[in-house]
Structure 1
């Protein structure tokens, strides 16, 4: 009933605001008529003074002009008031009837037809206790955050909210949540790998020194952890060690089941460092380089290895010239030039990528964040 009372009071206030001007009655001529009479008396007095020789003709003319101006203004104001007060009484009464009767009836009719007066109120506590299927992810996260603010040492709470932060794109919050999980619940290969993944996401795909150390801790506890293995290969690629990245990723593919959902990702990653790689069959000997090839690669001088890496990067650049729509390829090229220390080419590649992606805000943000993280913005 309190809702209906509030609505009734609001309606009454609106009606009063409409009726108040209509209920005010004019008071006839008012001050306007009095002013006209005063100015006319002043004109007569000036004329008497002029004839009696009390004021000069020039002074009398100037005073007469000024008082005449005021007289005209007062007369105009009175005419406007006369026009206003001629509003018929029946019109004011009709407006009052509409405001008092018709408006509330129309409002109640519309609300009864399209509103929901039968629904009860829904306080915040009740909404938070609603079934999960009926709640938004933002409300659930807000509830968990409120709980963690009061209970910052609840490791399970941090562990629950961390993957949600990842899905929402709140990567810095995910890093904090996963670090708190490890602090409170202890370190494990899975938790360390999850933390490293969040650190890479927060750095826009760059495996930073902190992330690399995190994955190393994960692999020390479980050398078969797939997430840590994959990102270790990515770190090797970004450090300019494609042969090491290829070795790690080939090892994952060799031991992975044929229907493993992550195989396409590993295959694409392997193709970046070995463009001519063919599909690696699961659970079969690796068809990769022979022992002689590996031994020869180990004997390469640093200059020769650098030349090999340069050749791979140049091939990627040529491929992007032919197919500029590969946005991920542009990101790899920018990162590769930056890792090699060729900052001018990294900037050129970033600008070429910007020209390609056009007005795509999400891709432009990823590219700008990468350039900023590599220190090549501008």
Structure 2
């Protein structure tokens, strides 16, 4: 079918090219001197007739003038145009034949060479998301941002761009977008929980106080909301309230739908808390499970650690780093960060005391 289509297209292109060559053309009157002269004498005859009608020219003079003008008109030969010469017709036919044959002869090899018809088609639906250029995504985000600058009260716009910010690891922007969407569109349990998750991601995986408030409010709006329940269990784990964390994780697993993809990952975390061997778990697909975002958290923690190592920071920032390593089950790094924090904050007894309390809560050893 493809080749028939291509043949038809080639024939149409060739016809379009040779039609002007085959079509008989008639030059304009002003391009032929003989035609111009004939037009002049015809006009002269008409003028003679008008002069006679107006009484400006006697009949005897008019007759002789008509005869002279008619003679000259006949001599121009304008009444019988010459047919095209055989040589000219042959030239036109030769050009038409050359175009008709040359167009497909040249076009087909060019298509085979440049068009690569042997490649299979690639429907848009089957293309991998990675094939989308990052510049296209950035351009789309920039377009939405420009729209929101012009219309900051568009709650749906904020709701649309918030999860995109999360995928782009722009967590603070995501938190702000979710906050605006909640303000403009009203409370929604799932959106409030997503807002809390963005706050956790921006804090390097630590469930900070504002995130806890968001998850608690999400449960008020939607009791049983799994994302909020998970992060509150994680908060208990980070606080060193191991028994509470185990209880909350177990309740979350017990209430989970049979087809929930995040259950196995929660079971693995539960087993880790209990000191048991984790079950064989399928990869978690839920945004509520940190294992599914481990690379994201590690990236945030790495940036925080580098900044604290080079520029120092407050006791809260050091505590955030230590808790983040604990969340990632990297006890050695947590202990190293604790030692660095004690050294950096040694001149502040209150900060050191806060670090000692944190070490005790997280089970990182004694204060010294």
Short-chain TM bin: 0.3 to 0.5
Greater Rg, structure 1 or structure 2?
Answer: 2
TM-score, structure 2 normalization: 0.41
What TM-score do you get using the length of structure 1 for normalisation? 0.40
